[in-house]
Structure 1
Amino acid sequence: MAPTDDNNNIHMLQDIDRAHHLHPFTDPQALKTAPPFVVESAEGCMIQGQGMSLLDAMAGLGCVNIGYGRTEMAQTAAKAMEELSFYHSFAAITHPAAAKLADKLAALAPGNLNKVFFANSGSEANETALKLIQYYWLRKGKPNKTIILSRDFSYHGSTLATSALNGLTAMHEPFGIKTKGHVEHVMSPFWYRFGGDMTEEAFAEHAAKAIEDKILEIGPGRIAAFVGEPIQGTLGAIMPPKGYWPKVAEICRKYDVLLLVDEVVTGMGRTGNWFAQETYGFEADLMSLAKGLSSGYQPISALMLSDSFAEVVEAESAVLQHGFTTSGHPVAAAVALKNIEILERENLIGRIKSEIGPYFKQALETLLDHPLVGEVRVEGLIAAVELTKNKVTREQYPYEWGVCQHVANAALMQRLIVRPAGNVLVMCPPFTISSSEIDQLVNGLSSALDQTYAALQNV
C-alpha cells in the first residue's frame, strides 16, 4: 500500500526537524537513528500523533493542569493579542493583564508573598531569585553571604547559574560548571533510599539537621539562602517526610538564611492546595512559579517576594538592573489569568483534595504487590513508583541496565506516557483526569511492569 499524504507529511517534518532542530535534553546521536515523534494535537488528557492517541500522565512536563485543548484559552490569547500584541514592562510601564495577574497571585499566595516579578520560565524565575538574593545581602551590608545551599536530586533550571543548583552532576560536568564556593549540596530527604530503619519523623529530623550542620560547617555569615522544591519532582517525585519542611524553615530563620522555595511543579494546585507550602505547613521568603501558572498554554513564570525581602530591594533609589524583554507579556499574562479563573470556577484544586487525588493514590498503591515495585509515593496529583531489585533490602537496579526506561517504553506501547527518572517512574497528570483514565493508567503501567519483570528473569 502506498503511503498516505499524511504519512509523507510526517516523514517530511521528521526529516527537516532532524536537519535543523537542536532538541533540549535529547541525545543528538539518537535522532540520527530514530526520528522524533511528531505530536499533532491534544485534548483533555490525551495527545495525538502519528496515528496514535496517548494518555499523557505527565501533563506535558507537569504543566498542563487544566488539560489540553481549552477553546476559551485560545480565545483569550486571540483577544489579548488583538488588543495589545506586545509591550514591555521596563521603566515603570504596565498593562492591565500584568497588573491584574500580580494582584491575583498576591491574593492567592501564602504568608506575606505580595510582590511579583514576571519572567518566562522556571529557570528564569530562579535565576532572578539568585540575583536578587545577592542584591538583598549587599544592601543589608553582608557581602560575604554568597553561598547557596541546595540538595542532592534537586532540579531548579538549565541556565548557567540554576544548573549549578541542581543535584545532578550530569548537568555540571559536560559544561564545566563549577559549584565549589558558590553552591553547596546537602542530602535529599529521600526516606526510601536513605532512611534505613528510621521512622519518617526521625528521618525528617536527620535530613533537616544535615542542612543545619552544613550551615555551621561553612559559617552562617557566608550562607545566603537555602533553595528547595517542596517535592523534588523532576528527579523522582521525592516526598518530604512528615515535619521536614517546618524544621527547615525554622533552621533558616535561626541562622538568618533566606528560604527560596521552588514551586515550579507544585505551585498552582498540584498537591491539593494552591501551593505546597500550605500542604506542608511552612512559609518562604521567595517562591518561584512557572508551568501551571498558565498550564503551559503560554511561556510565563513568576518570582514572588515576601514583604520583608521586597522592602530591602525597594528601600533605596536605584534602577533594578534586571529584566527580560517579555517579562509580564500581555498575552501570556492574560492567558495565566484565564487559567486561574478556570481552576477556581471548576474547583479543580478542591477536586484533587476531595475526589480524584485519593482515587489516584488508592489506584496506584495496588501496584505495591508487584515484584518490581518498592514504594509508591503520592501527594495530590504527583506520584512516583519506585522500582527495586529487592523489596527487603531496597537494592536498586544498576542505572546502566535501563530498567526504568524499559518500563516507560513498554508503557508507551500501552498508549501511556510516564516519565523515567533513574529507578523511578514519575506521573503528574492534568487535574481533569477521570477515574476511568486513572484505571487505564494503572492497567497500562501494570502491564509494562509485567513485561519488564519477565524480561529481567532472562538476564
Structure 2
Amino acid sequence: MNHPLSNSQRRDAEALLHPYANAVALRANGVQMIERGEGIRVYDETGKSYIEGLSGLWCAGLGFHNAELVETAREQMAKLPYYHLFTGKSHETAVELAEKIKELAPGRIARVFYQSSGSEANETQIKMAWYYNNALGRREKKKIISRVKAYHGTTIVSASLTGLPYNHLDFDLPVERIRHTSTPHFWKGAEPGETEAEFTARIVRDFEEMILAEGPDTVAAFIAEPIMGAGGVIVPPEGYFSAMAEVARKYDILMISDEVICGFGRTGQWFGAQTLGYDATSYSMAKQLTGSYLPLSAVGINEDMAEVIEKHTGEIGTFGHGYTYGGHPVGCAVGIKTLEIYHRIDAPGRVRALAPRFAAHLDRLAGHPLVGEARHTGLVGALELAPGKSPKGFATPGKLGPRLAQELLERGVIVRPIVDSIAFCPPMVITEEEIDELFAPVEAALDATEAWAKAEGHLG
C-alpha cells in the first residue's frame, strides 16, 4: 500500500483486529478497502476494479451483485426478520431449505441442522459424533482423525481439526482427542520411485495403522474435505477416498465430508464427495449455500445417525446444542433462492463446461520455470511455485507466493497465496472470456516474481 494512509484505512486500523493478519504490518501499510461488487469483480475505494479470483473466501459462487438474492432478503426481512428453532419453534423457510438440501445431498440424508459458519458446522459435526457414540454406550469412541494441511475452521475443536500450524500457534491447540493423518498430495509427498497407486496405498495404510495404534474402539470419525482448500488446493489421487472410506467402514468410524468449499457445484457435481467418489455419514455445508450473501451453514446427517440421536434426546431429555442464528429466516430464504438459481443455471453442468478452459490455463502456466505443479478440479485450482520445479520447495517458504499475489493484485486480480501456492476459485458465473481475463496477467506476474526472487537470492 502507498503512504500516507487514507482516512478510511486509518479508521480501520483504529477500529478492527483483522483475522489472519499481522496487525503491526497492517497498521503500517494499511488495508485494501473494498467498496462495491458487480459480477465477478469488486472495486476498491479509489474505484479500481479487480477480478475476484477466489470468490472472496472461496464462497461468492454467484458473484457480487445478484439482484434476486438482494430482493429475496428484503422480502423476508419485511415478513419475518428473525426467529429461532429452539424448544419446539420453527418457520417455513428453515423447513423448505432443509428439504431442498436433502434432495441434493448424496446418500440417505435424513435431518439438517443449521449454524452460521463452516467452523460452527464442523464443531457441530464433532459434538454430534460424541453424542451419537454416547447414545450407543460407546463412551471411549471419541477420537477424531483429520489430516495434515486440512482446514476445517477456527473455533476450538474445528481449529484443532485444521492441520495448519498457524491455526494452533499460541492458541494452545490442538485439543485432546484430535489426530492428523497423511496429506494426499502425490507430487509433494511421494517417495522416490513411488507410483501414484503405491503412494495412495501407503497413506491409506498410514490411516489404518493410526486407527489400530489408537484403538478402533476409541476412534469416532474421520473428517475430510473432498479437495483441500486452505491447505493448498490439494486434489487427492484416484481411488484415495474409496479406500479411506472402506477403512472407516471396517472399524465403524463415521465419515464426515466437509463440503464448505466443494459443495453446490464447485467441483462439477452438487457435492465434492460425488466428484471424488465416496459416500459420507454426514456433510458440512456453508459458503455457497447462500452464495455467501448471508451467513448460514448446515450439517446433514444420515438416517442411522438421526435415529440414534433423536431417540437419545427422549432418553436424556434434550439435544443441548444450538445457535441463536442457526436457521435464521433471512439466511434460509436466501439459501432457497440461491439453490433455485443454481438449478436454473445448472451450476454443476456450467462448471463442467468451463473446467477445461480453466484447466488449460493452469496447465499452460505449469510450464513456467517458476511453477512446480498445477492442480485443479472443476473451478478450483492452484499453481505451486518451486525452485527448479522441485517438490522440496524453497529454503525459506512463504516468500514467493505472497509476492506473486501482490504482483497480480497490481494487475487487477485478487487471488489467495497459500505459502508458495496461489489458489484460484472464481465465481461460478464466470464466462469463458472472463476466465481468459483472469489468467491474462499471470504469466507477466510470474516473470516479475521470478526476477524479484533472483534479485533477493531465493533462486540460488
Give the TM-score normalised by the residue count of structure 1. 0.95
Q: Distance in 2 between matches of 1:145 and 1:33?
A: 49
C-alpha change, 1:394 and 1:178, in structure 2 (3 Å) is closer
**Per-residue deviation, residues 136-188 of structure 1 (Å, max 9, x unmatched):** 01111110111111110011010011111111122113111244x41111110
Residue by residue, what CA displacement relative to the aligned partner does 1:225-244 show, whole Å, maximum 9, x if unpaired?
11111111112000010000
Matched, 1:443 2:440: yes
1:401 CA displacement: 5.7
For each residue in 1:425-451, what CA deviation from the matched residue of structure 2 results, as whole angstroms up to 9, or x when unmatched?
A: 111110011222211222211111110
| Partners of 2:271 and 2:188 in 1: CA distance | 26
- Structure 1: how far apart are the matches of 2:139 and 2:94? 33
| Aligned counterpart for 1:235 among listed residues 210, 231, 236 | 231
Overall identity of the aligned pairs, in % = 37
SS at match of 1:211: helix
1:15 aligns with 2:10: yes
Please report how far the alpha carbon of residue 384 of structure 1 lies from its aligned counterpart in structure 2 after TM superposition: 1.0
The answer on whether the counterparts of 1:164 and 1:178 sit within 8 Å (CA) in structure 2 is: yes
C-alpha separation in 2, matches of 1:448 and 1:12: 30
What is the CA-CA distance between 1:199 and the residue it aligns to? Answer: 2.4
Within 2, Cα distance between the matches of 1:368 and 1:23? Answer: 33
- Cα deviations across residues 64-84 of structure 1 (Å, max 9, x unaligned)? 111110111110000000000
1:373 and 2:371 equivalent?
yes
Question: d(CA) in 1 for partners of 2:398 and 2:363?
Answer: 25
Q: Give 1:401-420 correspondences, 5 Å limit.
A: 402-420=399-417
Paired residue for 1:3? none
**One of 414, 420, 427 as aligned partner of 1:430:** 427
Q: Which residue of 1 aligns with 2:357?
A: 359
Tell me the residue number matched to 1:305.
Answer: 301
Q: Kindly indicate whether the alpha-carbon contact (under 8 Å) linking 1:352 and 1:358 is maintained by their aligned counterparts in 2.
A: no
| Cα distance between partner residues in 1 of 2:70 and 2:437 | 29
Letter in 1 for 2:184: P
Query: Aligned equivalents of 1:329 and 1:398: distance in 2?
Result: 48
Aligned to 1:213: 209
Change in CA separation of 1:399 and 1:305 when aligned onto 2, cut-off 3 Å: farther
> Pairwise mapping of residues 280-319 of structure 1 onto structure 2 (< 5 A)?
280-316=276-312, 317=314, 318-319=317-318
Q: Which amino acid aligns with 2:188?
A: R
Which residue does the alignment assign to 2:382? 384
Aligned position for 2:449: 452
- Which residue of the partner structure matches residue 336 of structure 2? 337
Structure 1 residue 306: Cα displacement:
0.8
Q: Report the Cα distance in structure 1 between the residues aligned to 2:282 and 2:378, rounded to whole angstroms.
A: 23
Q: How far apart are the structure 2 equivalents of 1:189 and 1:310?
A: 31
Q: Does 1:57 align with 2:53?
A: yes
> Counterpart in 1 of 2:27?
32
Say if 1:156 and 1:163, in contact at 8 Å, map to a contact too.
yes
Question: For residue 135 of structure 1, what is the aligned residue in structure 2?
Answer: 131
Q: Aligned equivalents of 2:100 and 2:31: distance in 1?
A: 39
Measured against aligned partners, the alpha-carbon deviations of 1:115-152 in whole angstroms (never above 9, x if no partner) come to 10000000000011111111001111110111111110
C-alpha separation between the residues in 2 aligned to 1:383 and 1:73?
A: 27
Are the structure 2 counterparts of residues 162 and 401 from structure 1 closer, same or farther at C-alpha, using a change threshold of 3 Å? closer
Counterpart residue number, 1:4: none
Q: What stretches of structure 2 of length at least 5 have no aligned partner?
A: none
Residue pair 1:228, 1:260 contacting (<8 A) in 2 also? yes
| Cα RMSD for the two superposed structures | 1.5
Alignment partner of 1:195 out of 182, 190, 202: 190
CA deviations 1:372-397 (Å, max 9, x no partner) are 11111110000011111122x42311
Distance (whole Å) between structure 1 residues aligned to residue 400 and residue 19 of structure 2? 23
Corresponding letter in the other structure for 2:166 = A
How many Å apart are 1:261 and its aligned residue? 1.1
Instruction: Tell me which of 101, 105, 108 is aligned to 1:105.
Output: 101
| Residue 349 (structure 1) aligned with residue 348 (structure 2) | yes
> Secondary structure of the residue that 2:86 maps to in structure 1?
coil
Is contact 1:46–1:54 with CA below 8 Å preserved after alignment?
Answer: yes
2:211–2:219: 8 Å Cα contact kept in structure 1? yes
Contact 1:399–1:423 (8 Å) recurs in 2: no
Mapped to 2, the partners of 1:265 and 1:243 lie a distance apart of 21
Rounded to whole Å, the distance in 2 between the matches of 1:107 and 1:189 is 30
Is the deviation greater in 430-439 or in 407-416?
430-439
Relative to 1, partners in 2 of residues 1:455 and 1:338: Cα closer, same or farther, differing over 3 Å? same
Q: Write the deviation string for residues 284-331 of structure 1: whole angstroms up to 9, x where unpaired.
A: 111100001001100000011011111110113021100001110000
Distance 2:346 2:173 in 1: 43
Find the aligned partners of 2:67 and 2:174 in 1 and give their Cα distance. Answer: 46
Structure 2 contact 290–334 (Cα < 8 Å) conserved: yes
Task: Choose from 159, 173, 182 the match for 1:163.
Answer: 159
Q: Which stretches of structure 1, 4 residues or more, deviate above 4 A after TM superposition?
A: none
Q: TM-score, normalised by structure 2?
A: 0.95
Residues 258 and 370 (structure 1 numbering): CA distance in 2 closer, same or farther, change over 3 Å?
Answer: same
**Is the counterpart of residue 273 in structure 1 residue 282 in structure 2?**
no
Partners of 1:155 and 1:457 lie apart in 2 by 32
